Structures are given as structure tokens and as C-alpha cells.
Amino acid sequence: MRIDWTLTAACLAAAAGGLIAWAAGIPVPFLIGSSLATALAVVAGLHFKLPAPLRSLAFFTLGIQAGSGVTPQVLEQVSLWPLSFAALLAAVLMTILVTYLYLHKMCGWDRQTAFFASLPGALSFVLAAAEQTDSDHRAVTVLQTIRLFLIIGIVVPLIAVLEGGGAPIATAVNPPNAAAQYLTLLACGIAGAVLGHFSRLPGGMLLGALLASAVLFGTSAVSVKLPPALANIGMIVLGMLIGSRFSGLDRHEIRRLFPASFFAFLLGTLAAAAVGFALHLSTGIGLSKISLAFVPGALEAMTVISFALGVDPTYVAAHHVMRFLFIALTVPFIARWLGKSSSP
């Protein structure tokens, strides 16, 4: 069997980054450490392809684990979700507005590039829509990628401080019928993951496994817990996937665009934070829940992080899906309008 040495090197770099972050006491260490280490390796010239089966297995494991954080008590605030969804859409619009104005008016970016760069997340749909216009696709990609890493490197640790360092690792206590519960969890998780995969939503496999697991744990049908080591491995794989987003980006271009990307991230985050704080005051929903739900990060990463910090993962995942759907359904029409308006 032929060994893929670049993938092996990437795995070793990601694992080392996770262990270093764990030893340093960084919150969610195996995700943050592996993603940063992988990004550095990619920028330094290491290019690899993450096998689809490995990615799918990691998403499945992390989805099952995140769903185990759902309890009947967690579901008591579901009645507040419609108001929270409305606030989320307001936060998205505020983020787009302030980021667009900064990039277009202050940085001199053309309005098409500034608009697509200001969209919080849903990068694949944003780039596909941007293809219909004359926008600078590489600038959009660089800004969106840097924003994700700033969220993971700055926002997540701040939220962890608010949460007192995160949730303690639960000790696995196997009930008498543990084998039957594991089989039930595995079967339902696979079914949910398959349905999630065919839903075409981002992170569909993780979402499907999470929902299946959430139903089982939320109804107290199962109580077994996955070994923490499995979740740590899944986080390392997810970190590799996040870090690989720097593949193909020129390091000089990253350095050139970093100042604009940083201030765009800062202004957009402050705008979303203002809406989120108003939601907190009016509903009493925790600031950590709102923060993780409103940040324009990858759905998979934010869902996993929310579980690791002891924050309701179903609330966080639902809001990221809502944000994605809003952007995915509206951006193609705006892109078509921008493309027509720019034609001579």
C-alpha cells in the first residue's frame, strides 16, 4: 500500500498543534491547535488532500458527541428561537452593511468585491455567485478565510473565558444495557448522517448525526457517552479541514490583505455583538450561546466548539443553518443584479 507522505505530515502537524494547545491550556485545544498548525504548514508549502471517508467519519463522531449535550432542560428555551432567528437576520444585515461600507468607502474596494467579502460565511455559495460578476474572487476568499481564523483564534477563547474555561469532561458511566444503547445510538446516528448528507446543507452529515443523537439524549432514550479520545481525533481532522482553506492562497497576498480583513472582521463582529447583546437583554438567552450562534464561522466548527464549552449545540447549529439559508437564497439574485448593473 502506497503511503501518502504529505497527508501523513499534515496529520502529524495537526496532532502536534493540538497537543501543544492542550499543554498550553488553550480552550478547545485539539480544534484550535490543529487548525492553526495546519494553516501554518499549508502556507509554508505543504499541500494535501483530506480523504472523504476520514472527513465523513470525523463529522459523524462529532455530530453524535454534540447531540449528547442536549437534555430536556436545554429544550425549554426553544420557544424563544423565532425571536432569536429574527435577531440573527438583523445581525447578518448589520454585519454586511458596516463591512461593505468600510471596504468600499475606506479601503477603496469596488462595490462588487466589497459586497461579497462582507457576507458572513457560506463561502462556497458566495464564490459561486461572485463568478457572475467582475469582483476580485481571490480577495473575497482571502478575507473570508482570515475572518474564520480570527474567529477561532480570538472570539472562541474570549467566549471560553466567559464560560469559565468550558465544560468539564464527563466521565463515562456505562449503564447495564450499555451495549444496546451504543447500537441504538450508532444505528440512529448513521441514519441521521445519511439523511443529512442528502440534504445538501453545509455540514449535513454532522447535522444529521447531531439531530439523531439529540433526539435520543433529549428524550433520555440513551445515556452512554462516547470516549473523549474519539472526539479529540475528530476535532483534529476538522482542524485539518479548516486549516487546508489556506491552500492555493499566496502568502504575500495574505499579508497584503490582512489589515483590511482584520478591521472588516472587527467592525462586523461589533455590529453583530450589538444586536446579540440587545437579544440577551430582551430574552435572557446566554451571551455565550448568542455569540457562538451569531459569529460567521463554519457550522461544523462552531457546533463542535459549543459542545466543548458546554453551550447548547442545537441552538448554535440551528442559527448557523438559518444564516446559511438566508445567504444562499438571496445572494444569487443580488449577484445577478450586480452583474447586470456593471455591464456597459
What is the mean predicted confidence (pLDDT) over 60-89? 79
Average of pLDDT values for 108-125?
83
For residue 29, the model assigns a pLDDT of 87
* CA nearest to 98, candidates 270, 294, 260, 259: 270
Check: CB of residue 84 under 8 Å from CB of residue 284: no
Angstrom CA distances, 100 to 88, 104, 158, 266, 335, stand at 18, 6, 26, 13, 15
User: How high is the pLDDT of residue 171?
Assistant: 46
pLDDT the model gives residue 169: 47
Q: What pLDDT digit, counting tens, does each position of 89-115 carry? A: 999 999 999 999 999 999 999 888 899
In this prediction, residue 227 has a pLDDT band, given cuts at 50, 70 and 90, of confident
Question: Do residues 35 and 239 touch, judged by C-beta distance below 8 A?
Answer: yes
pLDDT at 12 over 90: yes
Distance CA 310, CA 300 (A): 16
Are 151 and 295 in contact by the 8 Å Cβ rule? The answer is: yes
pLDDT in the model for residue 77: 62
pLDDT at site 275? 94
Nearest Cα residue to 33 out of 52, 44, 43, 19:
19
Longest dimension (CA), the chain: 73
Hey, how many other C-beta atoms are within 10 angstroms of the C-beta on 8?
A: 11
**Rounded to whole angstroms, how far apart are CA atoms 189 and 206?**
9
User: Could you read off the pLDDT of 14-46 as tens digits, one per residue?
Assistant: 999 999 999 988 878 898 899 899 988 988 888
The sign of the dihedral angle between the CA atoms of 211, 213, 216, 217 is negative
C-alpha cell of residue 37? 498548525
Q: What percent of the chain has pLDDT over 70?
A: 87
Contact predicate 296/323, CB 8 Å: yes
Q: Using N-to-C axis directions, what is the helix angle for 81-101 and 313-342, rounded to 10°?
A: 40
Which DSSP category does 169 fall into? Answer: P
Compute the distance between CA of residue 301 and CA of residue 233 in angstroms, rounded to an integer: 14
Spell out the alpha helix ranges (H) of 199-250: 204-218, 228-243
In the predicted model, what is the mean pLDDT of residues 221-232? 83
Per-residue pLDDT tens for 267-291? 999 999 999 999 999 988 888 889 8
pLDDT band at 306 (very low <50, low <70, confident <90, very high): confident
* DSSP helix, strand, coil percent of the chain (3-state; round to 5): 75, 0, 25
Cβ neighbors of 199 (< 8 A, separation 6 or more) are 207, 208
Which residues are within 8 A (CB) of 71 and not within 5 positions of it... i.e. 6 or more apart?
217, 218
